[in-house]
């Protein structure tokens, strides 16, 4: 038996890894989380020790320190009602489990890893991630040290679970609705590419399906890029409706963008017959009598509840990755109508 092995009959702990690597427990944790400031030498020593000891961090770390009975959730936009729905579902999913939720948020999407690391440093039992810009490898490394559930991304992960909506199916609902109404000039308003994570990103899935449906219908696509918030969508839509190639329908990548577009259309006195607008998310304000936005309901509450269910399964010892795909529904309201030519 190797001199570096843990005592017979006992799973290796993070302390064992630290001893063999000649570093502190905190240093091992940083390597497992791929945290900032880890040297190549330290990373190599820790990884070598992990291999020698056949260390299983998700199980061993929990067994060593015990449960904190807290689950972290990283929120990219506190002002986005869709994320509030997810949090509400997560809280409901915890009822009767003894767990509490801790939320972390940063002002910039690019700094999401900082919020997640702050949760890990508080020794939560697992983290629910809603970060669109995190690299897949970073998430995989994080999931080596604690249970992770990702909401929204269509990744085939090896170490973490995922809960997603069927974005291609949701886009089909939008396109079926607008084409049935008789629309042919349909613009897709979506976030800029630097705010996406490639093919696994939900906005990218909606964009790609929009393009496929427009091509299949023999129609010219028109993609309009904007920022992530309502004000950006408002400014972009104002420019659009003042141009010569104004569409007759606008499919917004989420309800936040749709709300900005609705405000711009209202100021320009454009009724749905002249500019139909469809959103995506299903936030509660979309059903308000002064809004009445046609939108795809992603069922954010169910996304959050399912994420917690998967998380608790992970905490209790499940190892294989699982993914839940929820089917969205279309809620037709007054923001869409047949085009008036």
> Quick one: which H or E segment has residue 103?
strand 100-105
DSSP string, 188-207: EEEE-GGGS-GGGSHHHHHH
Same domain, 127 and 173: no
pLDDT tens track for 62-109: 444 567 889 999 998 888 899 999 999 999 999 999 999 999 987 666
Give the CATH number, domain containing residue 98.
3.40.50.2300
Same domain, 46 and 150: no
pLDDT confidence tier of residue 2, bands split at 50, 70 and 90: very low
For residue 5, is pLDDT > 70? no
Is position 260 within any domain?
yes
Same domain, 74 and 137: yes
> Quick one: which H or E segment has residue 68?
none
Average pLDDT in the 32-60 region? 77
Residue 66: what pLDDT? 60
Is position 92 within any domain?
yes
Domain count of the fold of the chain:
3
Same domain, 97 and 133: yes
What backbone torsions phi and psi does residue 288 show, to the nearest 5 degrees? -60, 145
Same domain, 78 and 174: no
Residue range of the domain that includes 29: 14-63
Give the CATH number, domain containing residue 32.
1.10.260.40
Distance between CA 305 and CA 309 in Å, rounded?
6
Residue 41 CB partners (closer than 8 Å, separation 6+): none
pLDDT tens track for 105-140: 876 666 778 888 888 888 899 999 986 678 888 888
Residue 76: what pLDDT? 85
Distance between CA 72 and CA 189 in Å, rounded?
32
For residue 313, is pLDDT > 80? yes
Is position 3 within any domain?
no
Q: Which long-range contacts (CB under 8 A, 24 or more apart) does 112-116 make?
A: 112/74, 112/76, 113/138, 115/74, 115/75, 116/72, 116/74, 116/142
Helix ranges (H only) for 54-166 are: 57-65, 81-93, 112-121, 136-142
Residue 60: what pLDDT? 44
Average pLDDT in the 282-300 region? 97
Nearest to 297 by CA among 259, 258, 332, 329: 329
Same domain, 127 and 174: no
Same domain, 18 and 95: no
Mean pLDDT of the chain: 89
Query: DSSP character for 253?
Result: S
Residue 45: what pLDDT? 92
Q: Which of 63, 88, 103 is the last residue of a domain?
A: 63
For residue 8, is pLDDT > 90? no
Burial status of residue 323 (CB atoms within 10 A of its CB: 0-12, 13-18, 19 or more): middle
For residue 12, is pLDDT > 80? no
Same domain, 128 and 220: no
Same domain, 158 and 209: no
Is position 306 within any domain?
yes
Residue 182: what pLDDT? 98
pLDDT tens track for 241-253: 999 888 999 999 9
pLDDT tens track for 175-232: 999 999 999 999 999 999 888 877 889 999 999 999 999 999 999 999 999 999 999 9
For residue 17, is pLDDT > 90? no
Is position 123 within any domain?
yes
Same domain, 114 and 154: yes
**Residue bearing the bigger pLDDT, 32 or 262:** 262
Angstrom CA distances, 123 to 4, 100, 119, 236, stand at: 27, 13, 7, 42
pLDDT tens track for 53-70: 877 655 444 444 567 889
Same domain, 33 and 143: no
Share of the chain above pLDDT 90, in %: 62
Same domain, 199 and 247: yes
Q: pTM for the full model?
A: 0.81
Is position 37 within any domain?
yes
């Amino acid at each position: 038996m190797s001199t570096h092995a843990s005592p017979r009959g006992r799973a290796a702990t993070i302390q064992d890894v630290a001893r063999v690597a000649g570093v502190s427990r905190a240093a091992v944790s940083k390597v497992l989380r791929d945290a900032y400031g880890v040297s190549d030498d330290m990373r190599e020593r820790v990884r070598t020790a992990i291999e020698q000891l056949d260390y299983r961090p998700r199980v061993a770390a929990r067994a060593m320190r015990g449960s904190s009975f807290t689950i972290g959730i990283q929120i990219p936009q506190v002002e986005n009602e869709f994320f509030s729905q997810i949090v509400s579902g997560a809280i409901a999913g915890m009822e009767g489990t003894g767990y509490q939720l801790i939320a972390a948020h940063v002002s910039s999407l690019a700094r999401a890893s900082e919020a997640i690391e702050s949760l890990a440093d508080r020794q939560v039992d697992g983290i629910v991630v809603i970060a669109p810009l995190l690299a897949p490898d970073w998430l995989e490394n994080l999931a080596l040290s604690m249970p992770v559930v990702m909401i929204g991304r269509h990744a085939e992960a090896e170490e973490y679970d995922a809960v997603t909506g069927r974005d291609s199916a949701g886009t089909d609902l939008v396109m079926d609705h607008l084409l049935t109404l008789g629309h042919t000039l349909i613009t897709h308003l979506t976030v800029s590419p630097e705010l996406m994570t490639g093919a696994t990103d939900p906005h990218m899935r909606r964009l790609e399906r929009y393009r496929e449906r427009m091509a299949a219908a023999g129609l010219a696509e028109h993609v309009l890029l904007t920022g992530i918030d309502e004000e950006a969508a408002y400014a972009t839509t104002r420019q659009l409706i003042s141009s010569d190639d104004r569409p007759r329908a606008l499919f917004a990548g989420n309800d936040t963008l749709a709300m900005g577009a609705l405000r711009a259309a209202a100021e320009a006195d454009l009724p749905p017959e002249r500019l139909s607008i469809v959103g995506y998310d299903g936030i509660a304000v979309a059903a308000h009598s002064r809004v009445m936005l046609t939108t795809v309901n992603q069922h954010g509450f169910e996304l959050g509840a399912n994420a917690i269910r998967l998380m608790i399964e992970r905490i209790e010892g499940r190892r294989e990755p699982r993914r839940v795909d929820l089917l969205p529904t279309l809620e037709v309201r007054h923001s869409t109508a047949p085009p008036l030519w």
